[in-house]
Amino acid sequence: MSTINLLYAKQYAINNSIRIVIPTVGQILGNEDAYYSLVSIFTAMPIDLMCQLDDVGIDFTSINEYELFLLMFEGLKSQDTSLIFDNLDLSKFKVVVNGQNGSIVLFDSEHNIIIDRAIYNQIASVLRRIHHLEKNNRKPANNEARDYMLKRAREKMRRKNRKEESYLESLIIAMVNTEQYKYNFEGTKNLTIYQFNESVKQVVKKVDYDKRMIGVYAGTVNIKELSQDDLNWLIHK
């Protein structure tokens, strides 16, 4: 994925049948909660849903992300996934056993389309790159650590049990009112979400660079202790 340029892309082709849409900011704002909920289903790791899995009697350390996706897939079939897959109809897919290797796959027999573990991994990887999401691969060392993680996760869920304001809207307001960001509200709506996320990342890097340079000039930061990345905000990683 690191060698693929998404900067001007509107879609990314997984294969001839499956394409990932890269929607505009404006398209997402129309139904932000539903969109990010869909993204989370395709990118979730078992540790992200440890409480929900525990509630149905599944140890989150006993399954992988593909198995988790298969568990959640039925809930996708009735949803509008056009901002993820354009015209791919997930309601046509059924969970079946691959006769060649015995693996569990999703199969659309009408159009002869398969989503297996490798294709799922590609879909998840593209969505993570578009949205700057990292895989959470943490695992508890023992049962005691697992139980502690579950306890902390439940406490965190209780604290967040309220409707939150739009994250994307708040981020847009912050960026438009930042001098390093050159788009207005209308211009931002026309950016793809990848372009916007990359712009946010670069603005944050430039702000951090400016602060470091102020520290260097003020004598509170030793320039010899800074890396080459710290000294060049133009390099985008």
Q: Write the secondary structure of 202-226 as one string of H (helix), E (strand) and C (coil).
A: HHHHHHHHHHHHHHHHHCCCCHHHC
Q: What is the pLDDT of residues 168-188, one digit of tens each?
A: 999 999 999 998 899 999 999
Q: What pLDDT was estimated at residue 2? A: 44
Q: What pLDDT was estimated at residue 221? A: 66
Q: What is the pTM of this model?
A: 0.87
DSSP reduced 3-state for 195: helix
> For the chain, how many helices (H) and strands (E)?
10, 5
Count of other CB atoms within 10 angstroms of residue 105: 20
For the chain, residues with pLDDT lower than 50 are 1-3
Residue 149 has φ and ψ, to the nearest 5°, of: -60, -40
Please report which helix (H) or strand (E) contains residue 78, including its range.
none
Q: What pLDDT was estimated at residue 81? A: 95
Buried residues in 174-200 as b, exposed as e (16+ CB within 10 A): ebeeeeebebeeeebbebbbbbbbbbb
Q: What pLDDT was estimated at residue 211? A: 76
Q: What pLDDT was estimated at residue 3? A: 47
Residue extents of the structural domains in the chain? 11-164, 168-225
Q: Which residues pair with 104 in a beta bridge?
A: 97
